[in-house]
């Protein structure tokens, strides 16, 4: 008689599934190994209509997320909502079918507050480090020097430490995160598994280019990804204004691809105000939420992929998914000189040494005026994607980790 497969639960707070491609690919890879897989995530108000969905044999349970602003209080409310709703979803799901392994992705680093109720019954906890939780908040409030901030950061450090002590295994997106956490907390290296962010080897390159996306211009510039405070989208807007009004370089169209839902990210409101104040409607477009088919079309058509992430401790050692996506479409990259961006993109990118929008704009002119360079960067990026930075390679570490639970 065949045994019942182990039940694995993936939990994510800051993005809907399957929109969160990393969590979705991980869930599918574990499902392929023969496990029973469920996911808990917030709803994406742009695409998710149901509280429950079953996709490719995976059960997805969704809840309404609350985002009201960008201050301390707003984060507390958002994370309390996450804890309460996730607690009851986990409780209900565990009654239906026992959960053997909890796989929680951050931010926030709070799932241990729920897991503590299941640890005595033999459940295991895998913590997937998408961001360095404390560093994220330190960079958000770097200009604030108040005692409240110091207390808040001290609490976050304690939370991070308690969460890591509760884990059985830790998954990181790169070597830099692993080294950082080992140095900070003295965690045993054998507890870590590196699963890099990487696109799948699929038919994305077969999606047709669409020259109409260039809006009648010669060059299409694209940004693809989250639009948070440290993602540098304001740099793109200032650079485009500088190109048009100072450099008289106007034969371009720039598309910012990603959810522009103000309710989900209040910072988008500021970006749109900058966009309006700089009178960029003719040159820069917020596309909003797009299907993957449309995203592939944009990235296959574009001439330069923009990665303007600003320097923070977090950004410097983070693997940017947009870099991987650009390379997988053979899209030459323009990036600031961040440690992990240089490791990921290598010679597929042109780098700005100064974190300045004028330098960024100058590099755009340089790249667009050098077709031989663009062709060279395109080929290097495609080779890195096909040979190294693809999901087929990345998931080997994940399947190695989960093989430990197959016969337990």
DSSP-based three-state secondary structure for 292: helix
**Per-residue pLDDT tens digits for 14-38:** 889 998 999 999 999 999 999 999 9
Q: Which CATH number is 260's domain given? A: 3.40.50.2000
Low-confidence ranges of the chain (pLDDT < 50): 1
75 and 46 fall within a common domain: yes
- Do 171 and 238 belong together in one domain? no
Q: At a CB cut-off of 8 Å and minimum separation 6, what does 268 contact?
A: 227, 260, 261, 262
Query: What pLDDT is recorded for position 141?
Result: 64
pLDDT for 230 equals 87
> Is 2 within a domain?
no
**Distances from the Cα of 157 to the Cαs of 88, 138, 169, in angstroms?**
26, 11, 19
State the residue range of the domain holding 172.
7-198+391-405
Task: Tell me the two tokens of residue 162.
Answer: 């308690």
Residue 1 included in any domain: no
Q: What is the pTM of this model?
A: 0.89
> Does 86 lie in the same domain as 226?
no
212 and 165 both lie in a single domain: no
Q: How many domains does the chain have?
A: 2
Same domain, 292 and 148: no
Asked if 223 and 331 sit in the same domain, the reply is yes
- How many CB atoms are closer than 10 A to CB 252? 22
Does any domain span residue 143? yes
262/289 same-domain check: yes
Give 116-168 pLDDT, tens digit per residue.
999 999 999 999 999 998 887 777 665 566 777 788 889 999 999 999 999 99
Q: What is the pLDDT of residue 228?
A: 85
């Amino acid at each position: 008689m065949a045994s019942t497969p182990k039940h694995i639960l993936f939990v994510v707070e800051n993005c809907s599934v399957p929109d969160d491609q990393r969590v979705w690919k991980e869930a599918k890879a574990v499902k392929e190994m023969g496990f029973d897989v469920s996911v808990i995530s917030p709803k994406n108000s742009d695409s998710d209509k149901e509280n429950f969905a079953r996709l490719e044999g995976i059960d997805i349970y969704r809840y309404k997320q609350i985002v009201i602003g960008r201050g301390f209080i707003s984060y507390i409310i958002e994370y309390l909502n996450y804890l309460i709703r996730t607690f009851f979803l986990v409780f209900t799901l565990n009654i239906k079918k026992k959960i053997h392994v909890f796989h929680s992705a951050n931010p926030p680093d709070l799932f241990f507050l729920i897991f503590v109720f299941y640890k005595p019954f033999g459940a295991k906890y895998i913590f997937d480090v998408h961001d360095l939780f404390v560093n994220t908040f330190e960079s958000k409030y770097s200009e604030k020097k108040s005692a409240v901030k110091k207390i808040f950061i001290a609490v976050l450090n304690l939370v991070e430490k308690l969460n890591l002590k509760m884990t059985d295994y830790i998954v990181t997106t790169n070597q830099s995160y692993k080294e950082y956490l080992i140095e900070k907390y003295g965690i045993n290296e054998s507890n870590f598994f590196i699963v890099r962010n990487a696109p799948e080897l699929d038919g994305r390159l077969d999606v047709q280019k669409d020259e109409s996306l260039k809006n009648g211009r010669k060059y299409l510039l694209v940004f693809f990804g989250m639009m948070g405070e440290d993602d540098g989208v304001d740099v793109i807007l200032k650079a485009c204004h500088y190109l048009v009004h100072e450099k008289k370089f106007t034969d371009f169209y720039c598309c910012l691809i990603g959810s522009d839902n103000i309710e989900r990210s209040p910072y988008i409101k500021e970006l749109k105000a900058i966009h309006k104040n700089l009178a960029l409607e003719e040159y820069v477009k917020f596309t909003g939420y797009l299907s993957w088919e449309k995203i592939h079309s944009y990235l296959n058509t574009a001439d330069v992929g923009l990665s303007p992430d600003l320097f923070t401790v977090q950004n410097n050692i983070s693997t940017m998914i947009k870099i991987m996506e650009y390379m997988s479409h053979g899209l030459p990259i323009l990036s600031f000189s961040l440690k992990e961006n240089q490791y990921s993109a290598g010679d597929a990118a042109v780098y700005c040494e100064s974190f300045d929008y004028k330098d960024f704009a100058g590099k755009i002119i340089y790249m667009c005026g050098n077709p031989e360079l663009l062709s060279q960067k395109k080929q290097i990026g495609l080779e890195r994607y096909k040979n190294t930075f693809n999901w087929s390679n990345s998931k080997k570490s994940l399947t190695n980790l989960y093989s430990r639970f197959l016969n337990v």
